[in-house]
Structure 1
Amino acid sequence: MLFHYHFWTPYVEETEKFYIENGFRVSQRLGKHYGEFKLFNPPLIWDDFREKNVIFRIIEVRKGAVNITFGSGKKVLFDHIGFLVTEGEISEICGNAEKMNWVVDRGDRRTFITTPYNFRIELQGNIDAIDSLNNESKIEKLKLVTKLQGLDKNLSSLFNKPIDNIISEVGDEVTIKEAVIKGLLSSNIIDPNGVRVI
């Protein structure tokens, strides 16, 4: 199940505000302050730490079966999408990735696959990565822009089935052009990183 995407961005506070205004909750804020990683989770708000020059490694917002993360970056940079899968599926997908000569980085909590399309795919086996499996809030479709053709075919080979909720087109910059998310409070709006959210 497609559940996740991640950006690096200079618009960290603005991105958090955008998703909160659309019904998401902040589940985690991890940032570097004076060389140490510290949590700035709710009930803390931005007024509590805005002036401290925190470099955020990750801010995670959630709504139902949707998990979106972003961290501090010098420019907007799309990093990865994520799928919630079973342990058995992880092994099969990783085997397929290795046959395709894609780099697999297996971890205790999650596995990353590096694609030739300048973004990664996260395989997440932990159901606690989302708040709920209900159908009220979920990512129904992502439209990706890549510099190479063939993503749709390669995703089908990777997952051993058609991946109908990822659509790709060729363009100059690798990014998510559009996200169709069920259960949002607003529609046809653009997040601070250029993702049109419908």
Structure 2
Amino acid sequence: MLFHYHFWTPHVEETEGFYVNAGFQIYQRIGKYQGDFQNFDPPLVWDNFREKNILFRIIEARKGSINITFGYGKKIKFDHIGFLVSEKEQELICQNADNMNWTVDMGERRTFIATPYSFRIELQTNKEIADSVTDNIRIEELRLETKKKGLEDDLSILFGKPVSSIKSVFGETVTINEAVIKGLSSKILVDPNGVRIMN
């Protein structure tokens, strides 16, 4: 199940504000302050630390089965998408990735697969990463722009079946153009990183 995407962005506070206004809840904020990584989690709000010059590594926003993360970057850069999978599915996907000569980085908490499309795929087996995996609020589809053709075919090989939740267009950049999110606002919203969010 597609549940996640991550951006690096110079618009960290604005991105958090956008998702909070869309009904997401902030779960954690980890940032580098005075040389050390520290937590600035809720109930802390931006007024508590805005003046501290923190370089945020990750801010995590959740709603239903959706988990969106972002961290500070000098420019907007789409980093990865994430799928919630069983351990058996993960094993099969990693084997397929090896067969495709895609680099697999297996970690204790999550696994990343580097794709030739200039973004990564996260495989997550821990269902607690989302508020509710049975919730009606979910990412139905992500529409990606890539500089290389063939993404859907490669994802079918990687997952061993078609991945209908990912659509791609060939373009000048690598990003998420649109996220179709079930159970969110009926209005079309655009986040500070250019992702159009529609129901």
Scaled by the length of structure 2, the TM-score of the pair is 0.98
Structure 2: how far apart are the matches of 1:37 and 1:59? 13
User: Which deviations, in whole Å up to 9, do the C-alpha atoms of 1:104-124 show, x marking residues without a partner?
Assistant: 000000000000000000000
Structure 2 match to 1:175: 175
- The percentage of counterpart residues that share the same residue type is 62
Structure 1 match to 2:109: 109
Shift of 1:133: 1.5
Greater displacement, 159-168 / 182-191: 182-191
Query: Counterpart of 2:117 in 1: which secondary structure?
Result: coil
Structure 2: how far apart are the matches of 1:191 and 1:134? 25
Structure 1: how far apart are the matches of 2:115 and 2:82? 13
Shift of 1:184: 1.4
Structure 2 match to 1:123: 123
Structure 1: how far apart are the matches of 2:81 and 2:186? 22
Structure 2 match to 1:27: 27
Runs of 4+ residues over 6 Å off in structure 1: none
Structure 1 match to 2:4: 4
Structure 2 match to 1:42: 42
Q: What letter is aligned with 1:17?
A: G
Query: Counterpart of 2:78 in 1: which secondary structure?
Result: strand
RMSD in angstroms over aligned alpha carbons?
A: 0.7
Structure 2 match to 1:60: 60
Greater displacement, 134-143 / 38-47: 134-143
Shift of 1:186: 5.0
Greater displacement, 131-140 / 99-108: 131-140
Q: What letter is aligned with 1:134?
A: T
Structure 2: how far apart are the matches of 1:166 and 1:12? 25
Q: What letter is aligned with 2:41?
A: N
Count of matched residue pairs: 198
Scaled by the length of structure 1, the TM-score of the pair is 0.99
Structure 1 match to 2:162: 162
Structure 1 match to 2:138: 138
Structure 2: how far apart are the matches of 1:120 and 1:187? 29
Shift of 1:53: 0.4
User: Which deviations, in whole Å up to 9, do the C-alpha atoms of 1:69-100 show, x marking residues without a partner?
Assistant: 00000000000000000001111000000000
Shift of 1:185: 3.2
* Structure 2 unpaired stretches of 5+: none
